[in-house]
DNA sequence: AAAAGAATAGGAATTTCAACCTATCACAAG
DNA sequence: CTTGTGATAGGTTGAAATTCCTATTCTTTT
């Protein structure tokens, strides 16, 4: 990270929120001239670096996280994407001509592997889980995540069998795992037979 | 980002590189006591924030990027996750006792929204797309992606209707969109009737 | 057990950042 | 045309971060 990157990131942070750098500084409760281009190098040409406190206040002012700032600096897209309800997608104003999000009303959704969870992915082979999962699909699962009835999960038995199922009834002693394919009957395991259950967070399509 | 986070990040940065905070400071060419716990709050209890210059020098000293630092602060895993084939998951040696990836043989899969692609997400409402998508699921779609027959896609007609379908036969003049639910017949559109088609990359589960 | 090195705590001096103030410029509203 | 607002440049002052220095604690080595 270089001196230029920090200021570039602050410029982008302001721009992405429809602000000038002075507007961003004001919003953050800082001096309006704090981020002025004229304040980025000292009179003797020495580069001036803002304190992390100033950066932190600017970030909280626009509701951005530190990861968002890193994304701006590194030129990456960031860890989130716009989100709206599927039912609203037909309304006008949500998309531009190319099919990208436009206008307001979009929420943000975070992607997997970027939260606190530890996750990994499994690649599906075979058609036993059609139509939900197809060969080549990748599912992202988190053993940390809480599992509830109805969740799609990956379970491993103490015998070593790994399967993707729908979590059915959980009692004190048994766990029911329902197949995606209704032709197969649900399977019921004693608690001790199941080594672990990991929730499926995402699936490639 | 809070005061605590910055120092926590520096602690982790040092720890991940087998250094103490004073060792990290020395390596960065700073005063060995620059990151001392005793220097993190002033005598009057006021929190002390390091300058971005000090952080930048610490990062370059260990060859880390700003995104790495953000990852340490946010406790994030990064932009990729381990990947193996589902068929191999039953073999021994791929998981530890807690159900996390262990040993070798794991590939890496990158997540959406982190590369050059422009993506966004849609939240599913209603049960018309069961069992593939359920209410509350979020699908991540990319209008940039190439679509092929068999892909799950979101399409918008020029009349404004948005739908998630399976891409069927594409001819020079028509596009067939197949419902996930086999009870509904496929729909056939003229090329001009379809405003855009975006491929579904991921779906939350 | 003794010695050497590293890590840390505490304080003073210095450097540097941030706030404050004023002036200029650009632009929009009346 | 005048007025008002926002953005920026430049300088001064006060506050805060960094360095420098010393002492103490802890670990490792001999």
Q: What is the pLDDT of residues A9-65, one digit of tens each?
A: 888 888 888 888 989 999 999 988 989 998 888 878 889 999 999 999 999 888 888
Residue B79 has pLDDT above 60, yes or no: no
| pLDDT of amino acid B1 | 77
DSSP one-letter code for A98: T
CATH node for A120-203: 2.10.109.10
Query: Residue B5 and residue A66: Cβ atoms within 8 Å?
Result: yes
Q: What is the pLDDT of residues B111-150, one digit of tens each?
A: 544 444 556 677 777 777 777 888 777 777 777 778 888 8
Shortest-distance nucleotide from B31 CA to C1': D19
CA distance B103 to chain A (A): 13
B3-74 and B120-203: identical CATH topology: no
| pLDDT of amino acid B114 | 46
Domain boundaries in chain B?
A: 3-74, 120-203
Cβ pair B105, B128 in contact under 8 A: no
What is the number of other CB atoms lying within 10 angstroms of the CB of residue A146? 7
Choose which CATH entry (1.10.260.40, 1.10.3720.10, 3.90.1170.40, 3.40.1010.10) describes domain B3-74: 1.10.260.40
Query: Residue B111 and residue A111: Cβ atoms within 8 Å?
Result: yes
Q: How far is the CA of A33 from the C1' of C23 (A)?
A: 14
Cβ pair B177, B155 in contact under 8 A: yes
Query: Residue B161 and residue A90: Cβ atoms within 8 Å?
Result: yes
Residue A79 has pLDDT above 70, yes or no: no
Q: Which of A94, A113, A141, A198 to probe by mutation at the B interface, max B CB count within 10 Å?
A: A113
What is the number of other CB atoms lying within 10 angstroms of the CB of residue B93? 10
Shortest-distance nucleotide from A31 CA to C1': C19
Residue B167 has pLDDT above 80, yes or no: yes
CA distance B198 to chain A (A): 8
| pLDDT of amino acid A84 | 61
What is the number of other CB atoms lying within 10 angstroms of the CB of residue B167? 19
Question: Smallest Cα–Cα separation from A112: which of B121, B101, B8?
Answer: B121
Rounded CA-CA distance A23/A50 in Å is 17
Which residues of B fall within a CB distance of 8 Å from A55?
1, 52
Q: What architecture is the A3-78 domain classified under in CATH?
A: Orthogonal Bundle (1.10)
Task: Name which of B73, B116, B121 is nearest A82 (Cβ-Cβ).
Answer: B121
| Overall average pLDDT of the B6-14 stretch | 89
Q: Which residue in the block uniquely carries the two structure tokens 């039953």?
A: B90
Residue A200: which region, alpha, beta or left (left: phi > 0; alpha: psi -120 to 50)? beta
| Overall average pLDDT of the A111-138 stretch | 68
Close Cβ partners of B198 (under 8 Å, ≥ 6 residues apart) = A99, B141, B142, B143, B145, B147, B153, B154, B155
What rounded mean pLDDT belongs to chain A?
Answer: 78
């Amino acid at each position: 990270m270089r001196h230029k990157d920090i200021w570039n990131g602050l410029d982008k942070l302001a721009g992405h929120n429809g602000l000038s750098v002075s507007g961003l500084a004001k919003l953050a409760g800082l001096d309006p001239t704090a981020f002025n281009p004229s304040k980025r190098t000292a009179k003797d040409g020495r580069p001036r670096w803002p304190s992390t406190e100033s950066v932190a206040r600017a970030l909280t002012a626009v509701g951005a996280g530190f990861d968002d700032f890193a994304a701006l600096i590194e030129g990456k897209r960031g860890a989130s994407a716009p989100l709206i309800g599927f039912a609203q997608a037909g309304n006008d104003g949500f998309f531009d001509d190319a099919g990208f999000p436009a206008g307001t009303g979009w929420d943000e959704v975070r992607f997997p592997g970027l939260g606190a969870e530890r996750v990994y992915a499994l690649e599906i082979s075979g058609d036993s889980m059609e139509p939900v999962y197809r060969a080549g699909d990748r599912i992202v699962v988190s053993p940390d995540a809480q599992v509830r009835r109805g969740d799609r999960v990956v379970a491993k038995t103490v015998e070593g069998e790994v399967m993707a199922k729908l979590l059915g009834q959980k009692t004190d002693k048994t766990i029911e795992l329902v197949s995606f394919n209704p032709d197969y009957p649900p399977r019921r395991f004693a608690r001790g037979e199941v080594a672990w259950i990991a929730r499926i967070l995402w699936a490639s399509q």
